[in-house]
Amino acid sequence: MRGTLSNQDLIRLEVLDLRRNIMEGGIPQNIGKISHLKALYLADNYFNGSLPVPVTSYSKPSQNFLRFMDISHNDFEGSFSFSSLFNHSKLDVVVIGSTGNKLQIDNDEQAGIPLFQLKALWFSNCNLKNAPLFLLNRHRLIWVDISHNNLSGALPIWLLENNTDLRFLYLGNGSFIGNLDPLPENPMSRMVYVDVSIILKGNFQWILDCFFQILQYLNLSNNLFVGELRSSVGVMTKLSWLDLSFNNLSGEVPHELVENCIDPVGLMLNNSFHGEFFSTHFNLSGVQVLRLRNNEFTGSLITKKEFYSSMKLFDVSNNNMAGEIPNGIDAEVLLLRSNSFEGHIPCQGRISP
């Protein structure tokens, strides 16, 4: 659907859903007069201009009904004071962002305590400078995404300590610098998705120890972590995606990782690991992305044709591997350079020299 949002009176409206259209123009200021609005969905359009605050004409919490708000992936610009929503006691989900990174969330730390608890907060590409302190005591939080911002300072460990129901945490592409200490006191046993691909150093092992129980996605890439992986990484049997690339990790990869995990989709270990990766312990199948480049792995490639049946990217370049290239090797992208392989190159796949 193409068009603009009308200024007509919508005072009785409870749900406004215009997602995934070609709507453009600004948001009418009188949207704040929709006193019974429960859900506002404007995501994935071309709305622009400043962002009005919905239902601002009412100050009493009992008169505010808004629960869901998703206005992401538009062309909004300027500054938006999130504290203007603090009086919405029923608010559960807030998703705000701008495709051009032109919108700035004003995170006023002196604005007081919000009346809502929130279950999900998505502030991606909002020019945030600090982690929102109003999340300090939001005990119902399940999903937090404050990635792709200008966040700096120490990693907000308090976010993990106080929100024990948290399952999805996105902090990627920020600018947190420093150590991970002090560590959270309580294990994050419900965590499913963790992305802290930012500039951190220190003891990364606590993430594996705290989050291992049902973790499915873990991205710790592009940090300054050092040390070796412990065998406890193999306890994450539900892990489908593990990215430890572009750190300074070393040692041998614990055989528990390649033996116990149930069919991971992606495994990226670009570091300084050594040893025989495809050892007799190797038991993975169904892998789609395997990136082992720039390590010191030795040994030969796995010969089972079934292992490559779902492979999209297979990258073992810049290692110390040798032996015959398996007849059944196949991938959409196949990277074998800077090793000592022998034999015939298969015709299928896109092969890197």
Per-residue pLDDT, 227: 86
Pairing type for strands 193-195 and 333-335 reads unpaired
Q: Is 79 within a domain? A: yes
Rg (CA), the chain: 24
Q: Is 126 within a domain? A: yes
Per-residue pLDDT, 196: 84
Q: Is 62 within a domain? A: yes
Per-residue pLDDT, 55: 44
Q: Domain containing 90: what range?
A: 1-151
Which one, of 50, 51, 63, lies nearest residue 94 by Cα? Answer: 51
Query: What does the alpha-carbon distance between residue 77 and residue 245 come to, in Å, rounded to a whole number?
Result: 35
Query: What does the alpha-carbon distance between residue 174 and residue 161 come to, in Å, rounded to a whole number?
Result: 20
pLDDT digits 0-9 by tens, 17-62 = 989 898 888 887 767 667 788 999 999 999 888 877 654 444 455 5
pLDDT digits 0-9 by tens, 90-134 = 999 999 987 777 888 887 666 678 888 899 999 888 888 788 888
How many residues can be counted in the chain?
353
Per-residue pLDDT, 181: 55
Q: Is 55 within a domain? A: yes
Report DSSP letters for 15-82, one per residue: EEE--SSEEEEPPPGGGGG-TT--EEE--SSEEEE--PPTTTT--SGGG----EEE--SBEE-EEEEG
**Over the chain, what is the mean pLDDT?**
82
Q: Is 30 within a domain? A: yes
3-state secondary structure (DSSP) of residue 104 = strand
CATH number, domain with residue 49 = 3.80.10.10
Q: Is 29 within a domain? A: yes
pLDDT digits 0-9 by tens, 203-225 = 666 666 666 668 889 998 988 88
Q: How many domains does the chain have?
A: 1
Confidence tier at 293 by pLDDT (50, 70, 90): very high
Does residue 275 or residue 212 have the better pLDDT?
275
Per-residue pLDDT, 347: 62
